[in-house]
Amino acid sequence: MDNFLAHNDETRALMLKDINCNTVDDLFKQIPNIIKEFKLSNPLNELDTQKEIKRMANKNNTGYISFLGAGAYNKFIPAAVSYVAERFEFLTAYTPYQPEISQGTLQIIYEFQSMICRLTGMDIANASMYDVSTAAAEAILMSMRITKKNKVLISNKINPQYKEVIKTYLWAGDFDAEWFDSIPDNLAEYSAVVYQNPDFYGELTEINKLNGAAGNPLLIVIQDLAALSVIAPPVNADIVVGDVQPAGIPVWFGGPHAGYMACKEKYLRQMPGRIVGRTVDADGKQAFTLTIQTREQHIKREKATSNICSNQSLVALMTTLYLSLMGENGFKQAGLLSAKRAHSLSEKLAKIGIKTLNRDFYDEFTVEVADADDTLKRLKENGIIGGLKLSDTKILVCATEIISESDIDKYVSSL
């Protein structure tokens, strides 16, 4: 077993010296013994334990009306989504690494891919990505492999969390990025131009073709999936990525979510991850199989297109269930209701002198106030999480279909 130990005695001694410790025991002595600080009651039976835990849980104030968005959206989710997803056939301790052993898992992934293609207007979609940030970063690397250029042009108005992941990916690969507020005229040196739609501040962006631009850079769109219920798909894009969270995934505690990636068919061989296809077996019956794993990490190793070697099967399943249960009409109705609620709030805020800075928006918008901290404080005192503070005078506000008109009236009256 010595061969499998990461550190030898000499390495451990050097590490301990750097942190001013003589032994490993010295290291752990620095950790407070919080167990001794617990004032535990006497042992209880199961019934009394349940009552005590509920009593303690009631100390949490969970009754706030939330107008938070900024990448995680509180949406209506049919109860059947979690019921089916938590069945033993699907719920596992780990995302299935070899889904080819299960026809049911493969079919779900195939349906997920088909739905993503239909929503985005793209030809091909993969089995899902870890999250939207890694999907965006992988799309940029994909564009560099296609165009043979190591520089990308990215909108400054994408989610700051996406920015940080993209920066890390590009730094590790020694690639360059430029960030823009308005797109320059000369695009010859860039592998791709990256937009987010709607952008982080809620503004809907008109996605124009880049065909004919010098150098033929690709167009990558980070697209809100829920917004596609009411706006046209980004068919002019070459690669579309995004988060499936607004389509059937609870906010939870920030995750897990899942990313999606779709592209034009001619870029299939450069797409990371795996793709499930439909065929027939030896008896002529419908069958599903892993059609392609473009990464080929197990063969090409460092020459692989990506180190993404799995997918978020369970989260993708929840999105597939959500879209199936909502149907085309239900999905569209939820989107229209979200837009209606957001615009209603914006209009009512305008009447009390709070200006919306967006020209066009879906369910999220930026407002300008005299004092963001004071505004959010007053809202919280009235049981409302009023949005995300962007600056001393700006707040990002979101209203989805679960927000009622009475919630909106309470928001406005609290100010």
Domain boundary among 322, 356, 374: 322
Phi, psi of 57 (to 5 degrees): -65, -30
CATH code of the domain containing 107: 3.40.640.10
- Of 107-111, 343-347, 365-369, the range with the lowest mean pLDDT is 107-111
Same domain, yes or no, for 155 and 292? yes
Please check whether residue 23 lies inside any domain of the structure. Answer: no
CATH number for the domain spanning 346: value is 3.90.1150.10
Residue 91's pLDDT is what? Answer: 80
Residue 31 lies in a domain: no
Q: How confident is the model at residue 26 (pLDDT cuts 50, 70, 90)?
A: confident
Which residues have C-beta within 8 Å of that of residue 243, sequence separation ≥ 6?
A: 71, 131, 132, 224, 225, 257, 258, 259, 260
Domain for residue 120, yes or no?
A: yes
Across the range 29-43, mean pLDDT stands at 72
Same domain for 83 and 70: no
Its pTM stands at 0.86
Other C-beta atoms lying within 10 Å of the C-beta of residue 265: 8
Where is the domain boundary, 298, 322, 346?
322
3 located within any domain: no
Check whether residue 318 and residue 393 sit in a common domain. no
pLDDT at 249: 96
Judge if 116 and 195 occupy the same domain: yes
Q: Per residue in 185-209, pLDDT tens? A: 888 999 999 999 999 999 998 877 7
* Cis ω for the linkage preceding 43 (within 30 of 0): no
32 upstream amide cis, omega within 30 of 0: no
Q: What span, in angstroms and rounded, lies between the C-alpha atoms of 361 and 359?
A: 7
Q: Which residues pair with 289 in a beta bridge?
A: 277
Please check whether residues 313 and 353 belong to one and the same domain.
Answer: no
Q: What is the dihedral of CA 267, 168, 233, 306, to 10 degrees?
A: 30
Cα torsion at 263, 266, 270, 276 (round to 10°)?
70
**How far is the C-alpha of 319 from the C-alpha of 5, rounded, in Å?**
41
d(CA 329, CA 322): 13
Q: How confident is the model at residue 333 (pLDDT cuts 50, 70, 90)?
A: very high
Q: Are residues 261 and 333 in the same domain?
A: no
Do 347 and 285 share a structural domain? Answer: no
Dist. CA 350–CA 250, nearest whole Å: 31
DSSP E strands in 244-393: the ranges are 259-263, 275-280, 286-292, 355-356, 364-368, 384-385, 388-389
Nearest 10 degrees: CA dihedral of 73, 375, 158, 198? 60
What pLDDT does 299 receive?
66
| Within a domain: 175 | yes
Helix (H, G, I), strand (E, B) or coil at 83: helix
Provide the pLDDT for residue 361.
Answer: 97
Q: Domain limits at 234? A: 79-322
Cα distance between residue 218 and residue 187, in whole Å: 10
Task: Give domain status of residue 1, yes or no.
Answer: no
Task: Give mean pLDDT, residues 5-14.
Answer: 85
- The whole-angstrom separation of Cα 103 and Cα 378 is 54
Q: pLDDT: is 101 or 325 the higher one?
A: 325
Residues 311 and 371 in one domain: no
Same domain, residue pair 242 and 371: no
For residue 34, being part of any structural domain is answered with: no
Domain endpoint, select from 289, 322, 355: 322
Asked, for residue 160, whether it belongs to a domain, the answer is yes
Cβ neighbours, 10 Å, residue 330: 15
Q: Are residues 150 and 254 in the same domain?
A: yes
Kindly report the average pLDDT of the chain as a whole number: 90
**Residue that is written with structure tokens 């891919």 in the block:** 113
Question: What's the number of domains the chain is made of?
Answer: 2
> Is 201 in the same domain as 347?
no
Q: Is the pLDDT of residue 369 over 50?
A: yes
One DSSP character per residue, 104-167 reads HHHHHHHHHHHHHHHHHT-SEE-S-BS-HHHHHHHHHHHHHHHH---EEEEETTS-HHHHHHHH
123 & 256 share domain: yes
Q: How many CB atoms lie within 10 A of CB 161?
A: 15
Quick one: tokens of 5? Answer: 């130990």
Instruction: State the Cα–Cα distance between residues 72 and 337, nearest whole angstrom.
Output: 18
